[in-house]
Amino acid sequence: MATAPPPPRTTVGNLCLGSAPDSWGVWFPEDEHQVPYTRFLDELVRAGYAWLELGPYGYLPTDPQRLKAELDARGLKVSGGTAFGALHRPEAWDEMLAHVRQVAALTAAAGAHHLVFIPPMYRDEKTGAFTESPELTAEQWAGFGRAADRLGRLLLDEYDVRLVIHPHADSHLQTQAEIERLLNESDSRYTNLCLDTGHVAYGGGDNLDLIRRFGERVGYVHIKQMDPEILAQVAAEGLSFGEAVRRGVCVSPPAGVPNPADVVAELARLGAELFVIVEQDLYPCAPEVPLPIAIGTREHLAGCGLSGTRRPNIDR
């Protein structure tokens, strides 16, 4: 007699799903277009998430006890912190480090062990004006990996927090070649990758190829999708990322690229314990927009095997 096939898997055991303020249209510590943090937290729970990334420092409470009280009251846990800074500007190191220390201290106090580090954009988020050259000089590139390792070692030694560098549209870490250069010129003990699937796609990269070839350097994941038609407009019209977001470049699954099911399957093959944090850039958006998107996204990703029920064992 033929054996019945096994039931489909409903969870991928090594991956843990969460979300972030970005999915509620939050880009800044304070902004008139953003919902209050209490609404974000309440709606995060209503959408079915148990894990969150902290988002821009100052949006959520920065006092550890107040933050803990807000999270505990809702049964929420922290996957990691978020910091912004330039690794290619040695003259700005002290200012950058002061900011990163604040984020790292809050992240550690919240019981999390990852700091998502986002390089600055060379175009203004709101106006699209260029604020810096899109290309780094050879001298700036020469120090990029060393600066990342210096920061990563400090975070690990002093806060038990692991540095994961986040590629970003309109930044100097956007294309696959730039991502690979950083990984090849840095030390896996101190510097690893926050694979943001949407920003990799925005920069013309191949997420699945990066996972297959650099899987041991993927320490954290942001999962999002981009609309190919609007990506074509970006290329044809020279749009800034801010304008692309206003046109709706970030879309809900299963629309857009890359296919989240393919990403989840490839990440599952790594066997590594990873947070996979939903992001859908929505700034600016009406207050009622994010919640139904968050619910639909969680339900779709659950169908791909992503669950947020337990904390991964952090080993990188």
Q: What pLDDT score does 14 carry?
A: 86
Distance separating alpha carbons of residues 98 and 260, to the nearest angstrom: 36
Q: How many CB atoms lie within 10 A of CB 293?
A: 19
Model pLDDT for residues 98-144, shown as the tens digit of each residue: 999 999 999 999 999 999 999 998 898 889 999 888 888 888 888 99
The residues near 127 (Cβ < 8 Å, ≥ 6 apart) are 242
Q: Taking the C-alpha atoms of 137, 138, 144 and 150 in order, what is their torsion angle to the nearest 10 degrees?
A: -120
| pLDDT over 90 (residue 189) | yes
Model pLDDT for residues 40-84, shown as the tens digit of each residue: 999 999 999 999 999 999 999 999 999 999 999 999 999 999 999
| Contact yes or no for 279/196 (Cβ under 8 A) | yes
| Helix, strand, coil percentages for the chain (3-state, nearest 5) | 40, 15, 40
Tell me the CA end-to-end span of the chain in Å, nearest whole number.
46
Distance separating alpha carbons of residues 152 and 164, to the nearest angstrom: 8
- Tokens 């006092």 belong to 63
For residue 160, name the pLDDT band (cuts at 50, 70, 90): very high
| pLDDT over 70 (residue 312) | no
Domains of the chain: 15-128+136-304 (3.20.20.150)
